[in-house]
Structures are given as structure tokens and as C-alpha cells.
């Protein structure tokens, strides 16, 4: 019987990426279905009913979704972070979960610099701003995203440092980046710290008062990752205490309105998570997801399985 592949994306991929996924599905003899900008959970629950394979982005794939998907064999998160997927529920139903590491890293890195420059040039209001060249840049985690940010930062003449207990010192140093064994020293030293962490039980609310308050004069915390990694009461406290502290993020925190209203000259959050929203990233991640599904269904290839 023909297998069905469903692309369920509340935030749609670029058309060219959707066409590419459809072509891969067709070539492999899979039926292709598309559910974009769905209005509510009910619609998603209904749509997954006959899906053998599912491609999502930040869409919430919780227990209810997994249970409603009776034929489901594989879910691929077209992107890096899979904190939106209930791995336990998937494993309990023998559903394989994968991500597509690295495929959207460049898009995220470029937007990170876009946000930094936007803030440094006073939201493009024409008044005199500051430059990134010659400043210290700290990468909190050196995965795919951190690595590209480091590369761009070096190209812009920044002095780049990284902390990541899961990456070998030699790997970081070979990229011309200074290795910092302790994260507290990264925050203490760097004028710009970019958080490149996944959201997990280990990282949740881990950027706390101690780290933020240790940052140097005029420091900027940059978050293209997940709002959950920031301890928001500490963030509010720092903003109240330090007039020099700045925060820019691709994921609005729960306290967005307050920060915007009270500290709008040194705070910015994108209106909707958009760092990975480029044609190229959509093509890279979407097509990789489709190929991983085909390889799993045809050959049992479990590369990039995360559960």
C-alpha cells in the first residue's frame, strides 16, 4: 500500500521547498499531503490520521498528536531543535523521530548578525551607532549555529570565544576561536554573548542572574535559540538594575510587552520566530527531511534519529 507523507507546518516553508519535498515524495512513490498555517490543534489532529511520515518545524507534536496518528512511522523535525516533539510518546508507539542538524544554521547565523547590527545602529533611525569590529563575541555552545556565527564574527573582525563542554578544545581552536572551559568566564569576558543552546532539562532557565549580571559594561545578550533557556525574572531584574544591558532575541520572552514598553531602546524581539525562515534554509532542511524519510522507509536508515 502507498505510504503518505504529510508536511504540517504552521509557519510554511518557501514554495520552492514544498515543491522539492513533493518531488522527492513522488519519485519514491509516496503520496504527498500539505497542511500549512493550520488554524488549530484539531485540524492537525485530523490531518495526521492517515500519515505514515510527518515533516514539521516548530509545530507541537505532543502525545495527542502521536496518538491521533495511527499509521505514523516517522516524524522529522525539519530543523535543529526537537523540544517540540514528545519523544517519550513517540518511542512508546515505535515512531522514529529525527532532526536535520545544520541544515538551517546559516540562516540563523545571518539573522543573528542582522539583529546585532539593527540594535547597534539604533533600529536604523539614522542616529550614530556602534560597530561590531574589534568587539568580543562569546558563543554559548558550539554546534552548527555557533560555528557559523563564529565564522561570520571572525570575518567581521570580532574576537571570538566559545564554551561548549560537548565539543573538543582542538576542534574549536582549529576554527580560530578561543576555547573557554567555563561558561561563567565566557559571560564575564564577552561584550556579545550569543546563546546557541537547545532547550532541554539541562539548559532550561540556565541563563540566570549570576551569568547575566557578570557581563561587561554595555553587554548584549543575543538569543536566536529558545526562550526557555533564559531565566526571565533575572532578565527583568538585570534590565531594571543596569541601564547598559541589552537583549535581542528571535523568540519573544513571556515578558516581551514589559521589556518593549520599559526598555524598548535596548531590547528587540522579532515579531515571529524567523531566523530559519529563508528559502535556502527551507530547501536544505525540508529536502533533507524528505530524503531521510525515504531512506528510512526504503532502507531502515536511522541516521539522525533522536529517540
Residues in touch with ligand 3PG (CB under 6 A) = 11, 57-58, 79-81, 104, 273, 276-277
Angle (CA) 73 86 253, round 5°: 135
Shortest Cβ distance from residue 149 to ligand 3PG (Å)? 14
SS3 for 85-142 is ECHHHHHHCCCEEEECCCCCHHHHHHHHHHHHHHHHCHHHCCCCCCCCCCCEEEEECC
Shortest Cβ distance from residue 104 to ligand 3PG (Å)? 5
Nearer to ligand 3PG, 107 or 219 (CB): 107
Distance CA 210, CA 259 (A): 20
Q: Give the pairing of strands 31-36 and 53-56.
A: unpaired
Shortest Cβ distance from residue 292 to ligand 3PG (Å)? 14
Shortest Cβ distance from residue 281 to ligand 3PG (Å)? 8
Nearer to ligand 3PG, 228 or 245 (CB): 228
Nearer to ligand 3PG, 243 or 272 (CB): 272
Nearer to ligand 3PG, 100 or 163 (CB): 100
Nearer to ligand 3PG, 79 or 138 (CB): 79
Nearest alpha carbon to residue 233 among 203, 261, 253 = 253
Shortest Cβ distance from residue 154 to ligand 3PG (Å)? 23
Distance CA 149, CA 138 (A): 10
Residue nearest ligand 3PG, CB atom distance: 79
Amino acid at each position: 500500500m502507498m505510504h503518505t507523507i504529510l508536511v504540517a507546518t504552521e509557519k510554511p516553508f518557501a514554495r520552492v521547498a514544498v515543491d522539492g519535498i513533493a518531488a522527492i515524495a513522488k519519485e519514491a512513490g509516496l503520496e504527498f499531503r500539505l497542511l500549512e498555517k493550520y488554524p488549530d490543534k484539531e485540524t492537525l489532529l485530523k490531518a495526521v490520521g492517515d500519515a505514515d511520515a510527518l515533516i514539521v518545524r516548530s509545530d507541537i507534536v505532543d502525545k495527542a498528536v502521536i496518538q491521533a496518528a495511527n499509521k505514523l512511522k516517522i516524524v522529522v523535525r525539519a530543523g535543529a531543535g526537537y523540544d517540540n516533539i514528545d519523544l517519550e510518546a513517540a518511542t512508546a508507539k515505535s515512531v522514529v523521530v529525527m532532526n536535520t542538524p545544520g541544515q538551517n544554521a546559516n540562516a540563523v547565523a545571518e539573522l543573528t548578525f542582522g539583529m546585532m547590527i539593527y540594535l547597534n545602529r539604533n533600529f536604523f533611525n539614522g542616529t550614530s551607532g556602534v560597530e561590531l569590529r574589534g568587539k568580543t563575541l562569546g558563543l554559548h555552545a558550539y554546534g552548527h549555529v555557533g560555528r557559523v556565527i563564529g565564522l561570520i564574527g571572525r570575518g567581521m573582525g570580532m574576537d571570538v570565544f566559545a564554551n561548549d563542554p560537548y565539543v573538543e578544545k582542538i576542534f574549536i581552536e582549529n576554527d580560530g576561536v578561543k576555547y573557554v572551559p567555563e561558561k561563567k568566564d565566557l559571560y564575564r569576558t564577552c561584550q556579545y554573548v550569543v546563546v546557541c543552546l537547545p532547550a532541554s532539562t539541562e539548559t532550561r532557565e540556565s541563563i540566570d542572574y549570576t551569568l547575566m549580571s557578570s557581563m561587561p559594561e554595555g553587554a548584549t545578550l543575543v538569543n536566536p535559540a529558545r526562550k526557555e533557556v533564559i531565566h526571565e525574572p533575572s532578565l527583568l531584574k538585570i534590565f531594571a538594575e543596569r541601564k547598559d544591558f541589552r537583549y535581542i532575541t528571535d523568540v519573544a520572552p513571556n515578558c516581551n510587552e514589559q521589556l518593549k514598553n520599559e526598555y524598548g531602546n535596548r531590547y528587540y524581539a522579532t515579531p515571529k520566530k524567523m531566523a530559519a525562515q529563508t528559502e535556502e534554509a527551507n530547501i536544505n532542511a525540508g529536502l533533507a527531511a524528505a530524503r531521510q524519510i525515504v531512506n528510512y522507509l526504503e532502507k531502515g536508515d536511522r541516521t539522525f534519529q533522536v529517540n
